[in-house]
Structure 1
């Protein structure tokens, strides 16, 4: 056993987060932690890491256990942003670097030693042996391959941390974590800033990892590849299932179906018992009437009293049976149906031989041509830096093509989701932002709820919302808006799997055209009717 939670509970002022949660983590465990945003995944990680104290329950750790933790969107390098990417990545090997310097120093002294060579040679031999046993001849190559695998090639290695984007810093933090020695690693959304090649590299790396790990991610394909158990957090409760994510979903659906069967069976039984209880009540009432009306106060009255007593006892037992037969109704989210207009078959975008980039000297793509009509869903694929966002911005006419032509039909009404959510007005509430779509408030509130926007969030100013909350507000507005062309730049970032499913359902029903960028393989497979790969080759 590496770590154990036993009947752990945690509450915040406005919400119960964890309730009697128990979890045991053993060496070699590969556990996916799944649940809606706000279900308590990060809180559970922080409790395991010792950064959050539960209000009740026990937390037990094996003696000397080394726990690594990748926080969501946290790079952990603020102490000295002047360091370079490579300096940060090499931090886990500080003792080896010191030993490497000592070997160099001993080798230099040996060349200057004259008659004192024997002692220096012994010291040098001992240091070299220790260096080799500790992986001294491999650590730099390991570091370089890890950085490249996570999308930080050699051109980044001498770049200062302060000059790197937030996503690049998170990838660097992930690289450093993977290079450290741990018995247990907690990964909170490690795929958020990884393109598909980096996700696939990480899947392969985790397969050979000695450490146990628990990983929270909203990428189904990733979870299938890296997990053999699934911990499901739902309304404060944790249930552990065997198998990968797909196996977990299958077991969850079976459990939900069984829950509905038990509920329907209990309803029928409760109705039957209620009818029997009503029959006993009628017998009891009849016995009471006979007792009151009997002329003979002896034998007849005594018999009626016995009948009534038996009826009352039977009624009490029946009431208990009815109550015991009741099964709690399984939790079910409100269904929502959005009515869209019809725009099938209309041509919306035509691009002919366009080259995309921000300057003639730095073009990002070869010549590209495509047509997008209503009903088309074109996925723009490729690694980070190949020009995907630039292509979207070219279609939107935010930047001109370096070559070629992009034409939008006059009837095109564009809804745009940008990665940074800059398009949501900061000075209105979340509800006001989505009501701008012109839809009925009841429908707006229902869609916002299904998109995972909490009741207490709808009246907050957009400026006060987190990045994830702003993304959901923008997507809700786009789903409900009067658009026939949606341009979406990584719309699934920050969305839990349940909300992704809601978004997928809405986008499938959308009659217009969709041009989108995504690194989520499941989302692309389920939505795309065609793909487009920019880049220079």
Structure 2
């Protein structure tokens, strides 16, 4: 056992997060932690590390256990910004670097003083410790890890303060992987990773002997790295064996069985209630017979006995009907969006397009494609290959370096960018959506997207990044658009919300041009794909 929770409960002022959760992590475990945004996954990780105390229950950790934690928030990520990227990545090997310097000092002394026995003995001992601790491979491991996570050699000498937020997150992930741990808790490790980096991380984790728990909304990644799934939902945690796809299958079968039990119980309940009504009718008939036979004692006595038996039987039937009632399985509100027809077929045309922000450094060249109503084009490629630049060039925000691209002048365009720009900071989420028409439908879609009821009345300035993304996506889906241009629409969305968005976009009659690193989302939505490579 590495860590264990026993009957742990946690509440915040506005919600219950965990209720009597019991859970054990063993050496070698490979666990995916899944659940809707806000379910309490980050809180569970903090409880496991000891940074958050539960309201009730016990937390146990093995003596001397080393727990690493990759957080979504970089504010606590350790290294000083005055270090270079490589210096920060090498910090886990500070002891080896000191030993390496000592070896160099001994070698210099030996060169000056000759082969003194004391120095030779110290050198031999230092070399053994250096080799046993991986001293001859730690630099190569560090370089391979940085490269695999999308931090190329050109960034290694750059100060951490000069890295982008995504690059700093990848650096924090690299450090966690290079440190010595018994258990690692990864909170959204695939954020800011392109597909090659995600695949590299999958391979690294599959070959690792370290136990880990991963919270991620990339189901393809979860399938690759997990052997168990811990599902956290409505304050309860359930453990399943298998990868994410196996978990979904088990949950769906359990839901189907739950509905079968519910429908069977409804039939049984109706049958028992009909029988109870029959007994009620018999008892009422007996009461009438009793009153009508006042001068015939034997009839009155018999009627009383029948009435008494029928009352007892009726109560039993009513109790049985109550006991037969099964709990109705949870179901979200069904969404039916009545899309209007798309106006026009041809929406985008690009011919021999070269894109970039300066002629000296083009990002991609020779791009040609058409997009018509009913088509959904996924733009894929590694970070830095020009995916966002292509979207902005097509929309006219950035001029092409050569060639041409444009949108049909009659097309109405909805654009979702990575900055989640809102129309105004003081309007509420609901006011942003009022222009889409059906307010009830807007509230329903927001609810299915995971936006809580009280959030719709918040000013836009107080919304989190994830809440802003969901409001904007809802506005685009419900708006009167012919073309949707979406840059990383699944960022900040949990898997359940991704499925809601996917279902809405699959029914959209216009065209969709989108960028995503989520392989399942791309495979499920795209009717064609354009892959960009670094020039």
Residues of 2 paired with 1:406 and 1:293: CA distance? 95
CA distance in 1, matches of 2:79, 2:427: 36
Indicate whether 1:18 and 2:18 are aligned: yes
Partner of 1:286: helix, strand, or coil? helix
Task: Give matches, 1:196-235, under 5 Å.
Answer: 196-235=195-234
Q: Is the 8 A contact 1:366 1:535 kept in 2?
A: no
C-alpha distance 394-170 of structure 1, shift in aligned 2 (>3 A): same
Paired position in structure 1 for 2:373: 374
Greater shift in the superposed pair: 70-79 or 120-129? 70-79
Secondary structure of residue in 1 paired with 2:342: coil
Alignment deviations for residues 101-151 of structure 1 (CA, whole Å, 9 cap, x no partner): 11111111222225x711011001100010001100011100110000000
**TM-score scaled by structure 2?**
0.97
Inter-partner Cα distance in structure 2 for 1:212 and 1:424: 45
Q: Give deviations 1:422-469, integer Å, cap 9, x for gaps.
A: 2443221111112233x1211111111121111111011111111111
Deviation at 1:9, TM superposition (A): 1.4
Within the alignment, does 1:531 sit opposite 2:529 as a pair? yes
User: Using the alignment, how far apart are the partners of 2:41 and 2:296 within structure 1?
Assistant: 72
> Where does 1:294-313 land on structure 2 (aligned, <5 Å)?
294-295=293-294, 299-313=298-312
1:255-286 deviation per Cα after TM superposition (whole angstroms, max 9, x unaligned): 00000000000000001111111122222223
Aligned CA distance change for structure 1 residues 76 and 144 (closer, same or farther; 3 Å): farther
What do the CA deviations read for 1:16-67 (whole angstroms, capped 9, x no partner)? Answer: 1111212111111111111111111111111111111111122121222111
Q: 1:424 to 1:240 in 2, by over 3 A?
A: farther
- Deviation by residue 1:154-174 (Cα, 9 ceiling, x = unmatched): 111111111111111111111
Q: Which secondary structure does the structure 2 equivalent of 1:397 belong to?
A: coil
Q: Structure 1 residue 77: deviation in Å? A: 3.7
Q: Displacement, 1:248?
A: 0.6
- Give the unaligned 5+ runs of structure 1: none
Distance 1:283 1:419, change over 3 A: same
- 8 Å CA contact 2:396–2:406 kept in 1: the answer is no
> Could you say which residue in structure 2 is the equivalent of 1:83?
83
- In the other structure, the counterpart of 1:427 is 426
Q: Deviations over 1:286-341 (max 9, x none)?
A: 33333344346754444433333322322222222111100111111111111122
What pairs with 1:26-37 in structure 2 (closer than 5 Å)? 26-37=26-37
TM superposition outliers: structure 1 runs of 4+ over 6 Å: none
| C-alpha distance in structure 2 between counterparts of 1:247 and 1:536, whole Å | 36
Alpha-carbon distance in structure 2 between the residues aligned to 1:332 and 1:96: 55
| Deviation string, structure 1 residues 235-257 (Cα, Å, up to 9, x no partner) | 11111111111111111110000
Map 1:54-453 → 2, pairs under 5 A: 54-74=54-74, 76-77=76-77, 80-114=80-114, 117-295=116-294, 299-343=298-342, 346-437=345-436, 439-453=437-451
Contact 2:343 2:482 in 1 (8 A): no
> How far apart, in 1, do the equivalents of 2:51 and 2:428 lie?
33
Q: Is the 8 A contact 1:280 1:311 kept in 2?
A: yes
Superposition TM-score, scaled by structure 1 size: 0.96
Pick the aligned partner of 2:503 from 487, 502, 505: 505
Which residue, out of 489, 506, 528, partners 2:487? 489
CA distance in 1, matches of 2:477, 2:494: 17
What is the distance in 1 between the residues matched to 2:81 and 2:255?
Answer: 49
Instruction: Provide the C-alpha distance between the structure 1 equivalents of 2:209 and 2:508, rounded to a whole number of angstroms.
Output: 46
1:27, 1:298 → 2: CA distance? 82
Contact 1:75–1:169, Cα closer than 8 Å, also in 2:
no
Give, in whole Å, the separation in 2 of the partners of 1:426 and 1:283: 69
Alpha carbons of structure 1 residues 79 and 107: separation in structure 2 relative to 1, 3 Å: closer
Question: Which deviates the most, 275-284 or 204-213?
Answer: 275-284
1:339 to 1:102, Cα distance in 2 relative to 1, 3 A: same
- Do 2:79 and 2:88's aligned partners in 1 also have CA atoms closer than 8 Å? no
Q: Which moved more, 1:294-303 or 1:36-45?
A: 294-303
Secondary structure of 2:456's counterpart equals coil
* RMSD, aligned α-carbons: 1.6
Number of residues of Structure 1 aligned to a counterpart in Structure 2:
535
> 1:49 corresponds to which residue?
49
Structure 2 CA distance for aligned equivalents of residues 473 and 127 of structure 1: 60
